[in-house]
Amino acid sequence: MDLRTRILCLVVVALGLCAAIGIGMGAVRTADSARAVQPPGAAAAPDVSRFLLNALLVPSLDAEAEALRWVDPRAALRCGPDSAVRVDGAPLVAGAPVPDAPFELEWRSDGCRPFGPGGPRFDGWVQLTVVRENWGFSASISPSAAMRLAWGKNGTTWLQPGAASMPLCIDADEPDQPIVGPDVLVPCR
């Protein structure tokens, strides 16, 4: 398998894990079954920042194209009409090549559900500064103060600034250094 196919396989597995986590979070109830809204920084739900590239970048990539190209992911993520995706300050153009140089991916999310119907609902604005690496992608995450993740009956949390990378090691049984090429090892992130 080539590098691109291996990365896509790892991404699909990571998205499946995220969906399972989201479905599990939808089934968990708080002690008093209240729909409490937690203040920023409260630990009411898991931090999905580490999976943000899987949630917002991967659905924007055309898996069928030989070279990486953009697709409009909003319909697939069930986004509301006020959602917008911008690349380097301009609206995302489906079919355009993904830049080799670092780029800004800006999301204005209106009810998007990148982890499926059982996962959190994304509302607000986030900017990802994405870098293509020889092993995949990395990004710094800069959310607006109002970028919230609604977890149904489990309340609401706010997306935290940080960093993300993909592929990720997603299972304790996986090797510490997944192989992504004939002689290329990537440390887990």
Averaged pLDDT, 39-55: 64
Residues 84-140 have pLDDT tens digits of 999 999 999 999 999 999 999 999 999 999 988 888 899 999 999 999 988 889 999
What per-residue confidence (pLDDT) applies to 181? 40
180 versus 65: the higher-pLDDT residue is 65
Residues 140-156 have pLDDT tens digits of 999 988 888 888 776 88
Contact predicate 11/167, CB 8 Å? yes
What is the DSSP track for 35-59? -PBPPTT--SS---GGGHIIIIIGG
Q: CA angle 162-165-171, nearest 5°?
A: 110
Give the span between the Cα atoms of 15 and 188, in whole angstroms.
17
Q: How many domains does the chain have?
A: 1
What per-residue confidence (pLDDT) applies to 84? 96
| 182 pLDDT higher than 50 | no
Contact predicate 112/22, CB 8 Å? no
What per-residue confidence (pLDDT) applies to 64? 87
User: Which domain range does residue 90 map to?
Assistant: 3-185
Averaged pLDDT, 10-22: 48
